[in-house]
């Protein structure tokens, strides 16, 4: 009897259906995980409608039951401080969108090159370039030499040394070494390089500008794009590209019209990840901006250092507004990710 009951509960009637007992377990686990993920967002949302008295009086959860909602936090955000909020919001949009586009564009092209071509750079040439440019940067910082003159001189010396000495270098690197070096740049903590980056942009008078933060975010997120897109490009059959080459297609045309459409799921997932990283970046924005290029994470953090204490209600309203672009982007890109997964499943 018990065995018959267990079979009814956990054995599906067909391969297209899920067993009742299994369905209860699976959907219960999904419900619990969904509640666990969404509760912090719900908590932030209702906090944005609380008064300071409600926030400080203890945990209250249900509007109109535990507390009476108030719009004072939203009024402070969009009426009294709307200029600061709007400026930080537009700065975040501009910086995140342009840096994401730059990272995905350059990183995808680099990943495709590593997936399709075999590179053998000489280790001695790389060391020589680092030494020459290190000397150039040292002259800029120690002797006040113009950075344009120092960079041009360093490149000229490097080209001369390569032409003279490169044939004597024997040790060569491979694509695997290049990929490891690329991802190691992301493993490196940003706090290690933030001071040199600050001094570099200070020398060229680009502090507190969009271009400085966009360039920094683009370089910081490039390794992630290269590492992720490399695997997607490697999974595309090379026969398709060879057929297109036989028909007279150029390498650039193949990349744009064949390779990228076939890897749209990876491109969408990578774009979403890089956008999230750029949108939430705090440390680099803190060092490279003061007022004109201030981003949303800096605005949220500033609410934690006021004379009136932590403004939880206003901070919650800012956070709700802050996560809207990322949610919209995730909804837009979700269909491309789903299509790519289904295409891979059918192909397999």
> Mean pLDDT in runs of 10 for the chain (348 residues)?
62 70 85 91 88 78 80 79 83 94 94 90 91 88 83 91 87 89 83 87 88 94 92 85 81 85 86 92 90 87 69 85 87 71 43
- CB-side neighbour CA atoms (13 Å) of 53: 6
CB 315 within 8 A of CB 50: no
Question: 36: burial class by Cβ within 10 Å (0-12, 13-18, 19+)?
Answer: exposed
pLDDT at 305 (0 to 100)? 60
pLDDT at 279 (0 to 100)? 93
Which residues make beta-bridge pairs with 122?
Answer: 172
pLDDT at 347 (0 to 100)? 44
pLDDT at 156 (0 to 100)? 93
CB 178 within 8 A of CB 119: yes
pTM, rounded to two decimals = 0.81
> What are the structural domains of the chain?
1-42 (no CATH), 48-80 (no CATH), 81-119+175-347 (1.10.3720.10), 120-173 (no CATH)
Which of helix, strand or coil describes residue 122?
strand
How far CA 102 is from CA of 105, 157, 262, 304, in Å, comes to: 5, 30, 20, 32
Q: Which of 139, 132, 128, 126 is nearest to 155 (CA)?
A: 132
64 Ramachandran zone, left/alpha/beta (phi>0; psi -120 to 50):
left
CB 267 within 8 A of CB 108: yes
pLDDT at 344 (0 to 100)? 44
- Overall size of the chain counted in residues: 348
pLDDT at 9 (0 to 100)? 66
- Phi and psi, residue 173, nearest 5°: -100, 165
């Amino acid at each position: 009897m018990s065995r018959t009951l267990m079979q009814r509960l956990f054995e599906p009637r067909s391969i297209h259906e899920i067993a009742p007992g299994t369905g209860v377990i699976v959907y219960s686990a999904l419900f619990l995980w969904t509640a666990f993920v969404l509760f912090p967002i719900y908590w932030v949302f209702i906090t944005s409608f609380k008064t300071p008295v409600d926030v400080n009086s203890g945990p209250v959860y249900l509007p109109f039951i535990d507390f009476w909602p108030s719009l004072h936090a939203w009024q402070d955000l969009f009426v009294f401080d709307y200029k600061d909020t709007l400026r930080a919001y537009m700065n975040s949009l501009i910086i995140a969108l342009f840096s994401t586009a730059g990272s995905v564009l350059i990183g995808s092209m680099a990943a495709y090159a590593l997936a399709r071509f075999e590179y053998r750079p000489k280790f001695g040439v790389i060391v020589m370039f680092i030494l020459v440019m290190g000397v150039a940067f040292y002259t800029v910082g120690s002797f006040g030499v113009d950075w344009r003159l120092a960079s041009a001189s360093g490149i000229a010396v490097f080209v001369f040394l390569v032409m003279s000495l490169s044939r004597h270098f024997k040790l060569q690197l491979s694509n695997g070494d290049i990929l490891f070096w690329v991802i190691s740049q992301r493993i490196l903590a940003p706090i290690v390089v933030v001071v040199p980056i600050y001094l570099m942009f200070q020398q060229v008078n680009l502090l507190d500008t969009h271009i400085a933060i966009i360039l920094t975010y683009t370089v910081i997120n490039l390794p992630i794009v290269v590492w992720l897109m490399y695997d997607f490009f490697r999974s595309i059959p090379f026969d398709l590209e060879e057929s297109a080459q036989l028909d007279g297609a150029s390498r650039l045309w193949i990349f744009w019209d064949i390779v990228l459409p076939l890897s749209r799921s990876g491109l969408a997932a990578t774009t979403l990840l890089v956008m999230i990283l750029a949108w939430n970046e705090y440390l680099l924005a803190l060092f490279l901006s003061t007022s004109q290029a201030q981003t949303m994470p800096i605005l949220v953090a500033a609410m934690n250092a006021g004379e009136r204490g932590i403004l939880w209600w206003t901070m919650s309203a800012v956070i709700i507004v802050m996560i809207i672009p990322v949610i919209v982007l995730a909804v837009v890109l979700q269909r491309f990710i789903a299509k790519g997964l289904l295409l891979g499943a059918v192909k397999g």
